[in-house]
Structure 1
Amino acid sequence: MIEVSDIYKSFGENEVLKGISANFEPGKISLIIGGSGSGKSTLLKCMVGLHHPDSGKVIYNGTEFTRLSFEDRIPIRKEIGMLFQNSALFDSMTVEQNIIFSLEMFTDMSKSEKIDRANFCLERVDLAGTNALYPSELSGGMKKRVGIARAITMTPKYLFCDEPNSGLDPQTSILIDELIQELTDEFNTTTVVVTHDMSSVMGIGDYILFLYQGKKNWEGSNKEIAHTDIKELNEFVFASPFMKVAKKSF
């Protein structure tokens, strides 16, 4: 369980988050959605410690993460897997080297154990045998899957994904969503995804948090999202061509 309580965050005079509170549960995929500048990526970065909120709390299973020192945050950070929007792979490293990077930082596993773990993770994302390739040799979808493989090397309790389908074609996006769903079910992770992809929202959204101008405007499930009377949410949801077509069946 991750709880965020009354989170505020500003950059200079720009108040980006204005009192956000929400609960993210294990074994479920929670989606943070909203237009550009709504604060969704800033909220995610506050949750993982890349930004420090001006006020409010981020709580991991009863431990207030925001009050911990850098050193005291390490045990929780070891339990976090992160997929960045651009995959954030190291260009000078092979796929295998990228995947075992966190293992080398945080574990005392032997080299053979690290390689075994890398192979398991690559098999899990259907990329077995790509160990020696470099990021420049991969397609966009393959880079995302390598990023996911790296994110799960430490068997995380918490999985964060920032725009996992950005720049991907619809078919590959579906495959990434299905993989995130499978991993959430398999490892019972608390999975938090920042996205603007409405097909992801309708496909894997157990819990959805909609931000508008830095505030929580709505929360609920993908079964409820198309039946609200909130103007800002409806404008966001039905701006998608996918949802315009789907709306006819509601």
Structure 2
Amino acid sequence: MIEIQNINKSFDDNHVLKGIDAIFEPGKVSLIIGGSGSGKSTLLKCIVGLHAPESGKVFFDKQEFTKLSFEDRVPIRKEIGMLFQNSALFDSMTVEQNIVFSLDMFTNMSQAEKVDRANFCLERVNLAGRNKLFPSELSGGMKKRVGIARAISMNPKYLFCDEPNSGLDPATSILIDELIQELTEEYNSTTVVVTHDMNSVMGIGQYILFLHKGQKFWEGSSQDMLQADIQELNDFVFASPLMRSAKESL
């Protein structure tokens, strides 16, 4: 479980996050949604320690992450898998080398064990046999799947995904969503996804946190969202024809 309490973050005079509270539970896919500039990605980076909030606390299974030193954060970081928006693969490394990178940093596995683990992760994301390809030889959806394979290489207890469907066609987006949901259930991980994709919201969102202008405006399930009487939430959600149709069918 991850709990955040009263998270505030500013960049110069721009107060990006304003007292955000939330609880993300294990075995569930939790989504952070909101318009551009609402603070979604900044909140994610505060949770994983890429940004330091001015105030507030982040707890990983009741351990206060925000007060730990860099060295004391390492055991928790070993349990974190991260899929970045652009996949963040190393262009000069093969698919296999990209996956093994984390294992090189954080484990004492032999080279054979690392390759076995990379093979397992590639099979898990339906990319078996692509070990020696370079990122430039992959499609956008394949890069995302390699990013997921790298993220799960350490058997993560916590899985974070920043706009996993960005730049993907609808069919590939659905495949990525289904994979994230399957892995969450398989590892019983606490999964947090930043997205603006309403198909993802309705498809895999078990808990949804809606941010507006840096504030927490609403939280609940996807079904609760369709019934919510909050103008800012409705303006965001029902801008999509798909979502307007879903609401009208209730």
Task: Please give the TM-score of this superposition, normalised by the length of structure 2.
Answer: 0.99
Taking the aligned partners of 2:2 and 2:168, their CA distance within structure 1 comes to 29
Task: Measure the CA separation in 2 of the matches of 1:241 and 1:145.
Answer: 29
Post-superposition shift, 1:20? Answer: 0.2
Distance 2:101 2:162 in 1: 20
After TM superposition, the structure 1 = structure 2 runs for residues 79-98 of structure 1, keeping only pairs within 5 Å, are 79-98=79-98
Q: Which residue of 2 aligns with 1:228?
A: 228
Q: TM-score of the superposition, structure 1-length normalised? A: 0.99
Aligned to 2:25: 25
Instruction: Report SS of the residue matched to 1:167.
Output: coil
Residue identity (%) = 78
Consecutive unaligned residues of structure 2, counting only runs of 5 or more, are none
Q: Is structure 2 residue 138 aligned with structure 1 residue 164?
A: no
Q: Which amino acid aligns with 2:60?
A: Y
In 2, distance between residues paired with 1:240 and 1:148? 28
SS in 2 for 1:91: coil
Match of 1:217 in 2: 217
Partner residue, 2:100: 100
**Matched AA of 1:24:** F
The within-5 A match list for 1:190-205 is 190-205=190-205
Q: Distance in 1 between matches of 2:193 and 2:122?
A: 21
Per-residue deviation at 1:243?
Answer: 1.1
Secondary structure class of the residue paired with 1:118: helix
Q: For 1:111-150, what aligned pairs fall within 5 Å after superposition?
A: 111-150=111-150
Pairing 1:19-58 to 2, within 5 Å after superposition = 19-58=19-58
Q: CA deviation at 1:245?
A: 2.7
C-alpha root-mean-square deviation of aligned residues, in Å? 0.6
What is the CA–CA distance in structure 2 between the aligned matches of 1:223 and 1:187, rounded to whole Å?
25
CA shift at 1:113, angstroms?
A: 0.1
Q: Which runs of 4+ in 1 moved over 4 A?
A: none
**Offset at 1:223?**
1.2
Letter in structure 2 aligned against 1:180:
I
Aligned to 1:243: 243
CA–CA separation in structure 2 for the residues paired with 1:242 and 1:171: 15
Q: Which runs of 5+ in 1 are unaligned?
A: none
Query: CA offset at residue 62 of structure 1?
Result: 1.0
